[in-house]
Structure 1
Amino acid sequence: MALLSDGHFHSGETIAQQVGLSRTAVAGHISQLSDWGLDVFKVKGKGYRLERGFSLLNAESIKKHLGNTKRAMIDVESVLPSTNTEMKKRIANARHELADGDAIFAEIQTAGRGRHGRTWLAPIGGSLTFSMYWSFPDGYQSMAGLSLMVGLAVCEALKDFGVDDAELKWPNDIYLQGKKLAGILIEVEGQIGATAHSVIGIGLNVCVPDSQYDVGQPHSDLTSYLGHTPDRNSLAAAIIKSLWTLLPKFTQQGFGPFAPHWEALDLYADKRIVLQMGEKRFSGIDRGVDASGALLVETQDGITRFHGGEVSLRGNR
């Protein structure tokens, strides 16, 4: 994949020599890349070429962009089933001593997940998919509103790249021009009454043209918005830095101080919305969030608070 990422033709023989495999084995690996969603062209006499080149994620490059703000593990893997699953494995494995802010990236996720177990499509080289570890000594209850704060952190980082009008959809989606740009999946390991070990999963569309990819709902990407593809290593560092800045404050003070900032970016602020919770549907006016990150919905009976769970939210058409 690293050889082909430059977007130029490479013969099967040249690839075989450089990676120390037979041409038959190379052909098998190329087929696997195609199965994972990379458009690999084969032209007789020329060899293999990707439809478009892209720069690979690189741990050292991400660290360079981070500067000396914090020393933490930045791990870039070529292929993982899911960065969240890998981070949870490391939490469970005593040999891996994790520090707050450690992050795992993957170029290819074979079993990426979104909320409610949905598949998260991540085109190779066209997205940013990673998971960060953060511990909460005061337990699970001190994490209320975490996914909302993470959404804010991503929006802050995007400002450095010329994206000033991203919006937030409760509880964990980032929208750009009315379409989904990124999703957040928070998972927690640990016993009740003990330190909560959180896994903060983020998937962001960098170059995912809607003409080529159907992800089951309208989506946006940074390339279409900006007119060029931002450097993913620089983007990764900006989001990490934003999380490293905001998470300590969140750990100490909770979501309360962030609520006004979140409400300023609320996609459905003061609009009529419909929520689906299991078999029940609720309709009302979006009135923002409270200090715990619960959604405030104005109904005929007054203000009702909704906390996470199997809740979907759409603008009421």
Structure 2
Amino acid sequence: MKEHQMKLAILNQLSKGGFHSGEALGEQLGISRAAVSKHIKGIQQWGVDIFRVQGKGYQLAQPMELLSEQAIGDALTTPFELIPIIDSTNQYLLDKQDLLDSGSVCISEYQAKGRGRRGRQWVSPFGSNLYLSMYWRLEAGMAAAMGLSLVVGVAIVEALQSLGINGVKLKWPNDLYYQDKKLAGILVEMSGQAGGAANLVIGMGMNLNMSEQVTGIDQPWTSLSEVADKPFSRNELVVAFIKAWHAALEDYELRGLHGFVERWNQHDNFLEREVKLIMGAREVKGIVKGIDATGAVLLETERGVEAYVGGEISLRKA
């Protein structure tokens, strides 16, 4: 983390708004103007858009609210770590799971090796999105973890609604959509032994203010700034999501998917729409009828309504 402290200090100054000259930044931080310029280039490599105007200095292309350990901590009793620069919030918790209390959280501003489902890269520029992971010990074991991404998806949509942000939908089994564009993804990773508790790490990446210049994304996407009709706070979002996840996971521990099925179906982005379900080389076309009590997706095909479930299934519009 020490290697990043100066860049984070520069970003902290820039996030206050306005122009900041290289000379002034250098004086504040005790480094040369050349060193400031070098650090600015490093910050830009994190995906932060900074421009420079001769005679004025540096300015962020758009306002940035940095995550605040104090603001989040004041609103939570949950153990959490805010690590601004990290390889992967999920991997960090997976590596530490033997030392963690259930419900522990890791939050980051930038992931160097963010990943999505089936090993895909998750593009993770600094400060423009949310990267959040939670460790949860599920006493009922790995078999009971079947519908966890569905439960967390419902919790996220309902947390957004509580903040006055409406219209976000769910895509089975682990994505959040707005107007048929991807807004966020959920990744659940687990370990454990038969007959024992399951160690789960639930991660989410959500686009908040992602620049249109970002590359490497293989599908249509949107940001929360395009969804919300009023300003939102990244710190308030983190707190709302953590509280919602806790409540949903405790409910799931007690009752399983019962109580979540109807809530999921209310927010299903593809409900009553024709889709194709891709399972390796096999494709099934049908009308989405929501999910069942096991978390399987229901498709109405020429053979009737059938349930499909499995880690290699992906859903695409027909």
**So what's the TM-score if we normalise by structure 2?**
0.90
Q: How many pairs align?
A: 307
Q: 2:115 aligns with which of 87, 109, 113?
A: 113
Unaligned runs of 5+ in 2: 1-10
Say if 2:167 and 2:227, in contact at 8 Å, map to a contact too: no
Say if 1:206 and 1:229, in contact at 8 Å, map to a contact too: no
Aligned-pair CA distance for 1:235? 1.0
Aligned partners of 1:74 and 1:231: how far apart in 2?
A: 18
Moved more, 25-34 or 220-229: 220-229
Say if 1:207 and 1:229, in contact at 8 Å, map to a contact too: no
Mapping for residues 173-184 of structure 1, pairs under 5 Å: 173-184=175-186
Q: 1:206 aligns with which of 200, 208, 212?
A: 208
Aligned partners of 2:63 and 2:169: how far apart in 1?
A: 30
Mapping for residues 11-26 of structure 1, pairs under 5 Å: 11-26=21-36
Q: 2:190 aligns with which of 188, 191, 197?
A: 188
Aligned partners of 1:137 and 1:152: how far apart in 2?
A: 22
The 1:53–1:163 alpha-carbon spacing in structure 2 relative to 1, beyond 3 Å, is: closer
Aligned-pair CA distance for 1:58? 1.0
Unaligned runs of 5+ in 1: none
Aligned partners of 2:53 and 2:270: how far apart in 1?
A: 50
Aligned partners of 2:124 and 2:15: how far apart in 1?
A: 16
Aligned to 1:35: 45
Say if 2:166 and 2:228, in contact at 8 Å, map to a contact too: no
Mapping for residues 42-81 of structure 1, pairs under 5 Å: 42-66=52-76, 71-81=77-87
Say if 1:129 and 1:203, in contact at 8 Å, map to a contact too: yes
Mapping for residues 70-149 of structure 1, pairs under 5 Å: 71-91=77-97, 94=98, 97-149=99-151
Aligned-pair CA distance for 1:197? 1.0
Aligned-pair CA distance for 1:22? 4.0
Letter in 2 for 1:29: H
Q: Does 1:237 align with 2:247?
A: no
**Share of identical aligned residues, percent?**
40
Aligned to 1:8: 18
Over aligned residues, Cα RMSD in angstroms?
A: 1.8
Q: Secondary structure in 2 aligned to 1:292?
A: coil
Letter in 1 for 2:189: E
Say if 2:298 and 2:307, in contact at 8 Å, map to a contact too: yes
Aligned-pair CA distance for 1:228? 4.0
Letter in 1 for 2:101: A
Q: 1:282 aligns with which of 281, 284, 292?
A: 284
